[in-house]
Chains A and B, each alone.
Chain A
Amino acid sequence: MATLSTTAGPVRQISRSRALLNLLRDGDELAHAVTLTFGASILVITFLLIYELWIHSTLSRQKFGFSFFFTSTWDPNFGQFGSWPFIYGTLVTTAISLIIAVPLGIGAAIFLSELAPPKLSRGLSFVIDLLAAVPSVIYGLLAVFTLVPLMRHTIEPFLKRNLGFLPLFKGPAYGVGFLTAGIVLAVMIVPYIISVSREVLLAVPQDQREASLGLGATRWETTWKVVVSYAGAGIMGSVFLSMARALGETMAVTMVIGNQPKVAASLLSPGYSIASVIANEFAEATADLHLSALTELGLVLLALTLVLNGMARVLIIMTARKGSGVAQ
């Protein structure tokens, strides 16, 4: 009895695993299983990321609660941590960069895909892809050496002279600050917007253009009312992809933003961003509460990205409905 049962087990297992192998041999099941695992790993990684940030920020969350988001003191020595200046700086610099980069990027993409001769379009696209691959620290360095002096000596004094009555352009011109950081970010994200928008525009079926032209629309009417509106969701997608990059950009921003945790209405004023303060202080933070607060900032940045992306989705859905309504 005993010998029988011990040998029967492995035999059955072997036959079972053989059956499994036969099942996998066709490839369909195997491919399904493998890709499912890979797909699921994204969810697992995201979950683990949030979980780890949540666990490691316990100390700070318990001590400050919701006041963490609304207070402005960041003092490692006295153990006072408020994240508002960093949230503010992140949002302001991202907004400035989008205001500059979106019209520029979409305009360039329309030109490249619809109006430019194909040869020129291909050449320029290559250059743009090259720009997108430049590491951010290079942009930061270039900004420190060229943009910052230009801002201090020329652009900021000009803004103060002509628009100084607005609270947006008050205070001393340091050359570093929200505006400079926003401009650097804009330069960094423009290639993304152009590159993705161009692909989306090129993917618009040729029939659409021909139909529109056939109905008597001009070249520009076709481009704007048919091609661009057809590609609207994709273009929005490119904008939000680049927004995510602007939100999380670290090195280039910290080099030009001034690193002062301060909330100021003036765009010329130095500020700080979430990603910059984490990069700056994490390595040398020794107090547990300080580390915990920095981790919570990471959580805040993640949440900010999620919320803005969620809003983007809603916007895309809404505009898509409107678009189809017009078409009918």
Chain B
Amino acid sequence: MKKPLLIVSLCLGIAGLVAAQGGTVQLQAAGATFPAPIYTKWFDAYKKINPKIEVNYQPIGSGGGIRQLIAKTVDFGASDGPMTDDQLKQAPFKILHFPTVLGAAVPSYNIDGVNTPLKFTGKALAGIFLGSINKWNDPEITKANPGVKFPAEDIVVIHRSDGSGTTYIWTDFLSKVSPEWKAKTGGPNTAINWPTGLGGAKSEGVAGLLKQTPNSIGYIELTYAIQNGILYGDVQNSAGNFVKATLASVSEAAAGAAKDMPDDFRVSITNAPGKNAYPISSFTWLLVPAQIQDTGKREILKGFLNWMLKDGQGYCEGLAYAKLPPPVVAKEAKAISLIQ
């Protein structure tokens, strides 16, 4: 009889010790994988300034982030696509969107005998991914690239097979420039029923297939392309200019869209106006409940958002993410006060 008692009291003692060790505030967050490297960097840097604050971010995917936020198992979520009206209705509380950084998708290719950066019109990209343009020497491709000698070979299309924010941006752009694409595939989504092509899992999978498959074309994240020195083409924007995706031209797209930005920041900035705007760009968002009961957590979260808009943006370039343009930062700073 004595032994079990001893064990029970020991267990209780240990539990008490563990509980007493607290003192730091832990925030739970989950969501998009694309911005995970910079989020991790931010939370790490923020912890150095405020040692008592710890954010545990799980990059489980945008869908998972949204579901966990709705189920209230995390304090805030993150997503590469804005929540739909249906999803917002499903949530038992109001959710605010805060853009954090920008991402972009770029067309990359592997064509025999072509080593120069190519130019693509939106129509050409839509046609290629629909399968209606299926040879590299199609006039829609050649006329934008005078002086480049294209082979008369079949185009092998490569897309992401995993559900991904990159696919969302890519299909969002194609839906905007091609009514046919929109009608056939049903518009932007993280995964769609592809009319043609091979699927590669994640950026590495697509890049790998591209490298190995002659006469192929695919789309990859700008961040991944920059970090791995992958050749990619320019895309024609809404002003008619062929723009190379760079951190600056992606931020430019956000600046171009800032004027007509809705107050809830749920906006697509693909094919945005602006002379130098790269057309296949997008925000990625933090999803924050509008009402947070716990005062401590609320102030911490607001503090972090303010820091993210100022100092946090300084970490972008090192990690190959595009910064928020000043007008968006100003608008977001105002919106932070909506968290109550």
- Chain A residues in the interface with B (C-beta under 8 A): 14, 18, 21, 73-78, 80, 144-145, 148-149, 152, 172, 174-176, 254-255, 258-261, 270, 272, 276, 279-286, 290-291
Contact = CB atoms under 8 A, between A and B. Distances in A.
A144 to B, nearest CB: 5
18 contacts: A74-B193, A76-B189, A77-B185, A77-B186, A77-B189, A78-B186, A78-B193, A148-B212, A149-B212, A174-B156, A259-B201, A260-B197, A282-B63, A283-B162, A283-B163, A284-B64, A285-B163, A285-B191
B193 A76 contact: yes
A254 B161 contact: yes
Contacts of B191: 76, 280-281, 284-285, 290
A270 B216 CA distance: 15
**What secondary structure prevails in chain B residues at the interface with A?**
loop
Interface string B66-107: 110000000000000100100100000000000000000000
B325 interface: no
Contacts of A290: 191
A77 B63 CA distance: 15
Interface residues of B, number: 38
Given A73-B193, A270-B199, 15 more contacts: A21-B1, A75-B193, A77-B193, A255-B201, A259-B198, A260-B198, A280-B191, A281-B191, A282-B63, A282-B163, A283-B60, A284-B64, A284-B163, A284-B190, A286-B62
Contacts of A149: 212
A283 B199 contact: no
Interface string B169-197: 00000000000000001110111111001
A311 B63 CA distance: 38
Contacts of A76: 189-193
A282 B161 CA distance: 11
A291 B62 CA distance: 13
B185 A254 contact: no
Contacts of A254: 161, 201
B131 interface: no
B127 interface: no
Nearest to B188: A77
B58 to A, nearest CB: 11
A281 B161 CA distance: 8
A172 B67 CA distance: 41
